[in-house]
Amino acid sequence: TSPYFFNAGLFTTGEALAKLGEFYADAIIASRVEFDCIFGPAYKGITLAAAIAIALYKNHGRSVPYAYNRKEAKDHGEGGLIVGKLTGRVLIVDDVITAGTAIRESMDLLAAQRELQVVGVVVAMDRQEKVKEEENVSAIQQVERDFGIPVLSIAKMEDLITFIDKQYKQDDRESLLQNIKEYREKFGVSA
């Protein structure tokens, strides 16, 4: 079991969510990936997609539509599984990829829309972690390989380790990092 958990659900204030949306938007613009809309898979991806769309407009002058899926299809009102406008080149946004399950489900859902082309995925944290102990491949590397699309991240696990190493006092740092480093020796992958 992993000794750490990246919980994007803790971004619960307008300020924190706005800042997170800005980090995503900056990473997207810096990547130069060409896209027409943003898709956020339920549930955490929904809020992220909205925050990113706002940040892209406010900070980069790009007004792009966003959409998300429902976990269950709705048969009344606007109905269906998709809420929002999906068009052209789609960029999937999520908090983290651990096993790649949510991204694969999104790829399957979006593949049913023939007029769409998924052009990439953006996550907040690249865990840099093997999917299986015996394979030296991360979930992100698997998604890139299996779908032929880039997976961008705002930060990588090694960035977090470097931050902890520089910002925390010796005693606090050692207790925080010991379990993480031991786990990464067994399950970690390089960038």
- Report the C-alpha gap between 121 and 97 in whole angstroms: 10
- Report the C-alpha gap between 44 and 167 in whole angstroms: 29
The pLDDT value given to residue 1: 72
The residue from 71, 76, 166, 169 that is catalytic is: 76
The pLDDT value given to residue 124: 94
Total-model pTM: 0.89
Q: What structural domains and CATH numbers belong to the chain?
A: 8-156 (3.40.50.2020)
Is 74 labeled as catalytic in the residue annotation? yes
The pLDDT value given to residue 21: 97
Is 60 labeled as catalytic in the residue annotation? no
The pLDDT value given to residue 95: 92
The pLDDT value given to residue 176: 73
The pLDDT value given to residue 16: 95
The pLDDT value given to residue 170: 72
Residue 6: other Cβ atoms inside 10 A? 18
Per-residue pLDDT of the chain (191 residues; tens, 9 = 90+): 777 777 788 888 999 999 999 999 999 999 999 999 999 999 889 999 999 999 999 999 999 999 999 877 656 555 578 899 899 999 999 998 888 888 999 999 999 888 999 999 999 999 888 888 788 889 899 999 999 999 999 999 899 888 888 877 776 677 778 888 888 888 888 76
Identify which of 144, 147, 93 has the alpha carbon closest to the alpha carbon of residue 117.
147
The residue from 74, 85, 132, 181 that is catalytic is: 74
The pLDDT value given to residue 14: 95
Side-by-side strand order, sheet with 117-126: 80-84, 66-74, 37-40, 89-96, 117-126, 151-156
The pLDDT value given to residue 175: 73
